[in-house]
Amino acid sequence: QVQLVQSGAEVKKPGASVKVSCKASGYTFTNYYIHWVRQAPGQGLEWMGFINPNGGSTTYAQKFQGRVTMTRDTSTSTVYMELSSLRSEDTALYYCARGSRDGYKTFEYWGQGTLVTVSS
Amino acid sequence: EIVLTQSPGTLSLSPGERATLSCRASQSVTSSYLTWYQQRPGQAPRLLIYGASSRATGIPDRFSGSGSGTDFTLTISRLEPEDFAVYYCQQYGSSTWTFGQGTKVEIK
């Protein structure tokens, strides 16, 4: 069965960087894009960007351009999302999600989420 | 960027009642790219409806989606206890995905 397992919670100081991992299993890793979506406490969902594990190309939401980097390691079927220059507004639950291949552009499977807390 | 506005913000209903949720786009959305998700407390979102009106695998038929252009609707015909949750619409366009702000369906 498809699983996306994310790394554990992080606490960071303002100005620091955080790197969250998302390990995929149960399918061919390079066949599906992985997206990152975040959710601030009590707020809605915000799309951050995606990576194509086949080749590593990325597309980032304009809001995060210059601050986010998505990478992948095909040997371990793991995708990473690094966010730099953290500020308190970046405190959120960060999800990875697998994109669909059926042409409908949906997010079929989701990780369990990783809480990133930014606090001095 | 296309902005999705969901209404109402909160819907207070009783089990067995019908829920009608709205998602309005700032520009026309390709119906194939309009998706609905359900998020229960403490859980990740779950794919509910894709292509504006097709139910995802395992989604009961009390859930239905409709609409086109800029106006889309999610209907839950008879609310079950497990349906009280937050619902988000999402659209794709020009290599960008955006979500609505969500509608919370709460027990009255």
| Mean pLDDT by groups of 10 residues along chain B of 108 residues | 96 98 97 97 97 97 98 98 98 94 97
Scan for tokens 């609505």, then name that residue: B100
Tell which residue, A60, A9, A10, A57, has the closest CA to residue A36.
Answer: A60
Percent of chain A's residues with pLDDT above 70 = 100
Residues of B in contact with A103 (CB under 8 A): 32
Beta strands A114-118; A10-12: pairing state: parallel
> Does the beta carbon of B38 lie under 8 angstroms from any beta carbon of chain A?
no
Tokens of B57: 């695998």
Report the pLDDT value the prediction gives residue A71, as an integer from 0 to 100.
Answer: 98
Mark yes or no for CB contact A45/B97 under 8 Å: no
Confidence bin at A105 (pLDDT 50/70/90)? very high
How many DSSP H helices and E strands does chain B contain?
0, 10
State which amino acid sits at residue A38: R
Mark yes or no for CB contact B97/A105 under 8 Å: yes
User: Residue A14 pLDDT more than 90?
Assistant: yes
Counted across chains A and B, CB pairs separated by less than 8 A come out at 57
Residues of B in contact with A37 (CB under 8 A): 45, 99
Scan for tokens 């998302």, then name that residue: A22
For residues A104 and A114, the answer to whether their CB atoms sit within 8 Å is no
Tell which residue, B41, B9, B24, B59, has the closest CA to residue A106.
Answer: B59
Q: How many CB atoms lie within 10 A of CB A9?
A: 12
pLDDT mean across residues, chain A: 97
For residue B96, count CB atoms less than 10 angstroms from its CB and return exposed for 0-12, middle for 13-18, buried for 19 or more: middle
Residues of A in contact with B102 (CB under 8 A): 44-45
Would you list which residues of chain A are within 8 Å, Cβ to Cβ, of chain B?
Answer: 35, 37, 44-47, 59, 61-62, 95, 97, 100, 103-108, 110-113
Pick from A59, A95, A103: which is nearest to B32 by CB?
A103
Percent of chain A's residues with pLDDT above 90 = 97
Pick from B33, B47, B102: which is nearest to A107 by CB?
B47
User: Residue A18 pLDDT more than 90?
Assistant: yes
Confidence bin at A17 (pLDDT 50/70/90)? very high
- DSSP secondary-structure letter at A84? -
H or E element in which residue A41 lies = none
Non-local CB neighbours of A51 within 8 Å, separated by 6+ positions: A33, A34, A57, A58, A70, A71, A72, A79
